[in-house]
Copies of this chain bind each other. A is one copy, B any other.
Amino acid sequence: MPVVTIELFEGRTVDQKKKVAEGVTRVVSEHADCPESAVIVMFRDIPKHNWAMGGELASDK
């Protein structure tokens, strides 16, 4: 705790996720009263055909 879930389009590299996990952990720890060791970050890769905004799939844009 805290648990941070990040849903983003698939295609991000492991290295990008690593940097996001490091930075998000630092920010959350700094401003939300918890040690970095307690911060969990989970990624979910979303294919473009599984995401719509305004009723239109991202894969159709």
Once the chains bind, are B54 and A37 in contact (CB under 8 Å)? yes
In the complex, the answer to whether A22 meets B55 with C-beta atoms within 8 Å is yes
Q: A57 to B39: give the CA distance in the assembly, Å.
A: 12
Size bracket of the A interface = 35 or more
CB contact between A57 and one of B7, B18, B24, B27 (< 8 Å): that residue: B18
Q: A51–B5 Cα gap in the complex (Å)?
A: 9
For the complex, give the distance between the alpha carbons of A55 and B29 in Å.
10
- Please tell me which one of the listed residues B23, B30, B58, B59 contacts residue A31 in the complex, with CB atoms under 8 A apart: B23
Query: What distance in Å separates the Cβ of A1 from its nearest Cβ neighbour in chain B?
Result: 6
Interface residues of A (CB under 8 A from B): 1-9, 12, 14, 16-28, 30-34, 36-46, 49-60
